[in-house]
Chain A
Amino acid sequence: MPVAASAIYFLNLRGDVLINRLYRDDVGGNMVDAFRMHIMQTKELGTCPVRQIGGCSFFYMRISNVYIVIVVSSNANVACAFKFVVEAVALFKSYFGGAFDEDAIRNNFVLIYELLDEIMDFGYPQNLSAEILKLYITQEGVRSPFSSKPTDKPVPNATLQVTGAVGWRREGLVYKKNEVFLDIVESVNLLMSSKGSVLRCDVTGKVLMKCFLSGMPDLKLGLNDKIGLEKESQLKSRPTKSGKTIELDDVTFHQCVNLTRFNSEKTVSFVPPDGEFELMKYRITEGVNLPFKVLPTIKELGRTRMEVNVKVKSVFGAKMFALGVVIKIPVPKQTAKTSFQVTSGRAKYNAAIDCLVWKIRKFPGQTEPTLSAEVELISTIGEKKSLTRPPIQMEFQVPMFTASGLRVRFLKVWEKSGYNTVEWVRYITKAGSYEIRC
């Protein structure tokens, strides 16, 4: 059985129960005490998200300042349980309107109880689709006070909606202005050796959509990915247009995408859910354009002085620019004094994380600002010299740039009423784990 969860607990960081739901009697009521004693109050916290205590297994996750703990007594499906928690949190967020934290739970506990009853029955996951649940979970979140809802109105036949041909979309939606927003969000992961060679590099991307469309529209998305283009040229018996094609290592789709059609025709066609959703996720390892190159030189001058020089080069187009660039350069714990010179942005020493933090708010393409710093260390005679030097880490966002080179070729909307739509497409590349060893 995928998950027969015996209980689910929401705890704050001190270990107080915010909300709990015992679905089954096969675990004792004191299970949460076991969790507190054996995990929260020991060094075990954070060493492993799955733990066995007594006869029960605990799966726990921390989300903002809340621990969500699932207790099972059988050989449950772990991946399913974690996915369930993640989905449940997303659902709560959509009800509360944004934040999920201790306060939100305290303010909405009745609603959460209701939701917990609907999304899981006797430990088996039921329906977690916010779209459908909103049809029959009547209480509203804190955003607006109770409305005196007419109670004798028959509830729409909710579950039939779930199982109909398009369970994720309600019928009869009407918008004055039909709009589609499509964002391609990529995060680049890089691990570079101290000698400047790329050890590991990949891009994980998401296609996020926001649809405000009337009726039951059919959408079709064309990307410049290799397989899709090849298939297309095959079908139209026309040679592939020159230009960059992207090879996707792996793709996963939202349940609305017709997978059979994707496998046969390689086109992404779907009837979208209403509002915001994640259409697809992909991963690319070949041909990644790194937006930044980092060239560090760190010299140790005797026991008490260090010289740090870091040059950061932006390699994307000169007309583009990156936002919120942060470069964290680790320095030894015993740093006493630092002095900087930067050609752009601002830098300071942050003792809490033992790093020089260099921030550049707006970073144009094809430039290479530098930082040179002198670091004075407290002389430590007794201690052996530290060999551990964590990597330089970087954060950034580059709008209108994709590290993979992926582009939307077309986004077609078709609906039987034949209305006009406005499509908006955006690209953004963010730093995932961007590490340069030094």
Chain B
Amino acid sequence: MAPPAQSHRSASPSQPSGKSEVSDLKSQLRQLAGNRAPGVDDSKRELFKKVISYMTIGIDVSSLFGEMVMCSATSDIVLKKMCYLYVGNYAKGNPDLALLTINFLQRDCKDVDPMIRGLALRSLCSLRVANLVEYLVGPLELGLKDNNSYVRMVAVIGVLKLYHISASTCVDEDFLATLKHLMLNDPDTQVVANCLSALQEIWSSEASTSEEASREREALLSKPVVYYFLNRIKEFSEWAQCLVLELVAKYVPSDSNEIFDIMNLLEDRLQHANGAVVLASIKVFMQLTLSMTDVHQQVYERIKAPLLTLVSSGSPEQSYAVLSHLHLLVIRAPYIFSEDYKHFYCQYNEPSYVKKLKLEMLTAVANESNTYEIVTELCEYAANVDIPIARESIRAVGKIALQQYDVNAIVDRLLQFLEMEKDYVTAEALVLVKDLLRKYPQWSHDCIAVVGNISSKNVQEPKAKAALIWMLGEYSQDMHDAPYILENLIENWDEEHSAEVRLHLLTAVMKCFFKRPPETQKALGAALAAGLADFHQDVHDRALFYYRLLQYNVSVAEHVVNPPKQAVSVFADTHSNEIKDRIFDEFNSLSVVYQKPSYMFTDKEHRGPFEFSDEHVNLSPGTESADTVVPAQRVDANDKDLLLSTAEKDEGRDASSNGSAYSAPSYDIAASQTQKESSISNSNIPGNTLPSSSAIDDLLGLGFPIETATTPTPPPLNLNQKAILDPGTFQQKWRQLPISLSQECSINPEGVASLTAPNALLRHMQSHSIHCIAQGGQPPNFKLFFFAQKAEESSTFLVECIINTSSAKTQIKIKADDQSASQAFSTLFQTALSKFGFP
């Protein structure tokens, strides 16, 4: 362990500076070291306390290591604990000295008092010094067999600690089998729970390199194991219950009877006082019923009350954690919560992070019957002292208006906002009125009358200014002063810092020009001149474009700038549905709070130098931001096909019309010629045979009960050359199936070097009967989705493959209908991939 963080900082004046005190302590400890007189323990305690307190405030007391160890020969348990704490803190920085402690720790591991055995073992495992690993194995083995459950509990976590110091020792010494045995047989539930934590963690991290580990990890989700945990769930502590429920949520029951049995068993968990248990149970209920629409609805109804209770009890932080989850559910199924809208009313003193979520929920649940009340309530918040919340609530009103319930009353309210004469209220309302007009052009008359009264001088925020300018351009025929206001704005071109505003100004003055040429001509000239001289590339380009367009043909220009417009029917959503589903799959975790799937904030490659931005992950085109408007027919398409089908749809169209970075794979007919060979090469893939050891186990019948539940050796894998899968099905499957394999592998660097566009790779993979269904990304990162089907049956494999060309590494995630075959398929896939680049 690194010494506490502030050790390098100068301690504050009230704290001792260190040096002299430390040497003082040193001599005092020396005196006491050999002393065995009665009562000496009390003075030792005082000294130890001093040492620990120095350690806590960040003074480096590592120089006392020797003396502390000498003093540790005591039977006083309090002294021992302080000593263990000290040793744990400094051992990592002083590996040589740590060796000194091994002796007394090992001795304590054999103490008669189980308490001391446990403490010593915990401290021994917490030394975190790699070259002392050999001393850990013996005590751990004994600890796991100890007849006291406290010691076993500590030992189990000790194995996990050992794994983190030296994974190979942990695996080689066969601790995992012992843990598995304990997990299924130990009478103490905390021991069982710790085994589960440890095994989950170890097998998950081993799974990428070891087939056995990934099989074991799958076995945790097998019926006997899950049932074993479910039957004992009431004995577990509340924290361990969370752990078990998390496991159950991943279990895939075989039929609906099983689903109902599990739900009946867990029903009363929804009344548990611990909110974390309730949330974990909700997750189980949600996940189990995903495929049963009716029951899923009932589950929503059932969990509503407990969730609302949780939100209204506990500290604001706890309630925020629950509210984030409620938020997710409300957004998924707003109609179920539409009668509970009053629960989402904000209290005056609530922290703004709670208010913000509530506002979003109020927006989501608005429907015909409650819009009036909700909007009335939101208007109260618009006058809130907290300006960000006031803004949010105005935006919320606008969003409800765009959901087209009772627009009449809302428009009036929005126009009232414009007259409130508060800068931020005006600004937000302007942006909203703009969006509203794009959707309901029929309201232009009422709106323009009010907007016309707003002095552009009072509008400073770029977004609001841009909105105002847009309206000036769009409705210049209805607004008397439009050309003159625009002219005024153009005169102050140099003072306008926002490029967005300048771009809008150019377009608006163009529009105005076509409607009222004589009044605008002068302003247009000035605007084009200013635009051409602009240092901002986009502004410059747009000005030049307009200029040339006007030069070329004025009527064409008019058609480009002022085409007849269709009203926008649906505004694009910020999150793609795939993202939303992934977040839902990770219910009861940070993903929900951050509102992004975990790979975006935990995977190293997503945080590191080559980070996937949100745009890369959005697979459906045109979903850039809430403000972006997509023409009606495009949006309709987006609503239905979520993940991939757009790729197919776009095939027929001009490729350039597709704004997305993802393009459809171009299937090459030539590739089909090579397919015959591929099925031959597929049959002799080495990965198809299981490691012989476990096969022998099975023969002798020595395996643990779980092992019998694991799948038999898969038959050799042949892939269908002409596999077909439509994008909708792919997407559906991708969402439903668990990840059966997740691996990292490298590909031939020469091949990668030539991989400027992924198309070459697609053809190559197709020659191995693995088909691409969607692809995207830009160098150095490519993301591809593949699928393949078994030759004999319609069992499919789905692959997500992320290639980083600079490191020649790929990350693959495989999902399969037939989980047992996924390992064989993975080998096949990697073999195919590794051949890429060779002629």
Contacts and interface: CB of A to CB of B under 8 A. Distances in A.
Interface of A: 1-2, 4, 16-20, 22, 24-25, 28-33, 46-50, 52, 54-55, 57, 59-61, 72-80, 82-84, 86, 109-110, 113-114, 117, 121-122, 124-129, 136, 138-139, 146, 148, 151-152, 154-155, 157-160, 162-163, 167, 189, 191, 199-200, 202, 204, 249-255, 259-260, 262-263, 278, 280-283, 384, 387-391, 393, 433, 435, 437
A139 B78 contact: yes
Given A47-B353, A49-B320, A110 B607 contact: no
A204 B343 CA distance: 13
Nearest to B243: A2
A61 B122 CA distance: 29
A153 to B, nearest CB: 9
Contact of B164 (A25, A109, A154): A25
Q: Determine which residue in B78, B420, B607 has the highest number of CB atoms from chain A within 10 A of its CB, and name it.
A: B78
A14 to B, nearest CB: 9
B1 to A, nearest CB: 5
Interface residues of B, number: 110
16 contacts: A2-B246, A2-B280, A4-B201, A20-B4, A28-B2, A47-B353, A78-B324, A78-B590, A79-B325, A127-B237, A158-B150, A191-B345, A263-B268, A283-B309, A388-B384, A435-B347
Contacts, number: 279
B190 A127 contact: yes
A35 B399 CA distance: 35
A1 B197 contact: yes
Interface string B586-607: 1011111110001001101001
A122 B160 contact: yes
Contacts of A283: 305, 308-309, 312-313
B692 interface: no
Contact of B309 (A31, A74, A281): A281
Give the 10 A-B CB pairs with smallest separation, nearest first.
A29-B2, A259-B268, A80-B276, A125-B239, A250-B305, A75-B598, A49-B317, A2-B242, A250-B309, A159-B149
Interface string B198-232: 00110000000000000000000000000000000
Contacts of B78: 110, 138-139, 146
B349 interface: yes
- Centre residue among A72, A139, A283 by max chain B CB count within 10 A: A283
Given A122-B157, A124-B239, A128-B237, 20 more contacts: A46-B351, A48-B353, A49-B316, A50-B590, A60-B317, A77-B276, A78-B592, A113-B52, A117-B122, A122-B160, A122-B161, A151-B77, A189-B347, A199-B345, A199-B377, A202-B312, A263-B268, A387-B383, A435-B348, A437-B380
Nearest to A137: B81
Interface in B758-780: none
B246 A1 contact: yes
Contacts of A29: 1-5
A224 B325 CA distance: 33
Contacts of A16: 6, 12, 57
Given A78-B589, A122-B160, A251 B271 contact: yes
Contact of A78 (B1, B353, B593): B593
A435 to B, nearest CB: 6
B446 interface: no
A189 B112 CA distance: 56
A340 to B, nearest CB: 24
Contact of B278 (A1, A128, A202, A252): A252
B732 interface: no
B136 interface: no
B187 A163 contact: yes
A53 to B, nearest CB: 11
A388 B716 CA distance: 74
Contacts of B194: 121, 124, 126
Contacts of B309: 204, 249-250, 252, 281-283
A72 B279 CA distance: 19
B245 to A, nearest CB: 9
Given A20-B4, A126-B190, A84 B239 contact: yes
B425 to A, nearest CB: 9
B273 interface: yes
Interface string B341-360: 01101011101110000000
A127 B157 CA distance: 14
A391 B349 CA distance: 10
A77 B249 CA distance: 14
Contact of B276 (A61, A79, A263): A79
B158 to A, nearest CB: 9
Contact of B273 (A52, A151, A254, A393): A254
A155 B113 contact: yes
Contact of B190 (A151, A162, A202): A162
A19 B280 CA distance: 31
Interface in B36-72: 41-42, 45, 49, 52-53, 56-58
Given A17-B56, A252-B306, A388-B385, A191 B347 contact: yes
Contacts of B49: 110
Interface in B1-15: 1-6, 12
B665 interface: no
A61 B312 contact: no
B332 interface: no
B421 interface: yes
A167 B594 CA distance: 37
Contacts of A126: 153, 190, 194, 239
A384 B591 CA distance: 43
Given A110-B82, A126-B153, A136 B197 contact: no
Given A157-B148, A283-B312, A259 B271 contact: yes
Contacts of B347: 189, 191, 433, 435
A22 B56 CA distance: 12
Nearest to A80: B276
Contacts of B501: none
A198 to B, nearest CB: 9
B313 A281 contact: yes
